[in-house]
Amino acid sequence: MDFNYRYWIMVGGIVLGSYITALITRRLLARAIRRKSDSLKADPTKFVFLKNSVTLIIFSIALIVIFMQTPKLSDLGKGLFAGAGIFAAILGFASQKAFANILSGIFILVFKPFSVFDTIEIKSEGNKGVVEEITLRHTIIRDYENRRIVIPNSVISESTLINSTIVDEKIKKHIEFGISYDSDIDLAKKIIREEIINHPYYLDNRTEEEKKEDENPYLLLRIVSLGDFSVTIKAYVWSQSNDEAFQLMCDVLESVKKRFDKEGIEIPFPYRTLVFKNDLKVSGKAL
């Protein structure tokens, strides 16, 4: 084939345009990744393959255009790209989970449903802990046993998340206490109120205006059920964070139990009555 100057100018223009496009795209993408990585406290080098992928895609498109503009290579190119399409379809099917994880990682990076150091719970998996690292394939969570849980991003994207840190780290903990029907409810409430309010992690979550109207610390206590064996009192306790709320609950359960024992408030437990039948005869019939 006689290659004229017009053809070579076209090829040079495609190559040069592809290079400039790839260069500008890589710089814009690097800036966006660096900005998001700073907010996520993640290493931006983890995302370097994204920039390389963009370059590969742009030059692949340029190569396809050059093939299609070359008459003798056009038919050969069509056959090659048809075969490559079949191979790509097979490869895509085999690695669809990997691509799903990468795409989900990009969504997490952009939309930020959680960040590093957030406390989250993944409902479908039952995993809860502090986010330690976010990559484009997976997220690492440090649970409360100091173990690292590696969860694919596609699993996280399809799950319902509870983020205890995303807007306000404060948390309202519900703590229940059961007392017997014979116990003094007012005394039990007084003991619970004192033990909770005196705990260092207790938080009075009222506004400053509400505190001025009533300077006494506020704690909501309610009778929530009258069960078979006990009267249930629920305390609605605010604390500064999830960890502090958990520690407050544990401490208060212990201190309230000791106060109940000391001041005669019974914590009931189920009673069982066992009947032993003897060989008694009633109306000539054995029971």
Domains of the chain: 5-94 (no CATH), 113-163 (2.30.30.60), 171-263 (3.30.70.100)
Residue 14 φ/ψ, nearest 5 degrees: -65, -45
d(CA 80, CA 278): 92
d(CA 192, CA 198): 10
Token pair in block for residue 229 = 């064996």
d(CA 42, CA 116): 8
Write down the residue that tokens 């206590």 correspond to. Answer: 221
d(CA 61, CA 191): 74
d(CA 237, CA 250): 13
Q: What is the pLDDT along the chain (287 residues), one digit of tens a residue?
A: 455 677 777 778 888 888 888 888 878 877 776 666 665 555 554 555 566 667 777 777 877 777 776 666 555 555 555 555 555 555 555 556 777 777 787 777 777 788 888 888 887 777 888 888 887 778 889 888 888 888 888 888 888 888 877 777 788 899 999 999 999 999 999 999 999 999 999 998 888 888 888 888 889 999 999 988 899 999 999 998 888 999 999 999 999 999 999 999 998 877 666 666 665 445 455 44
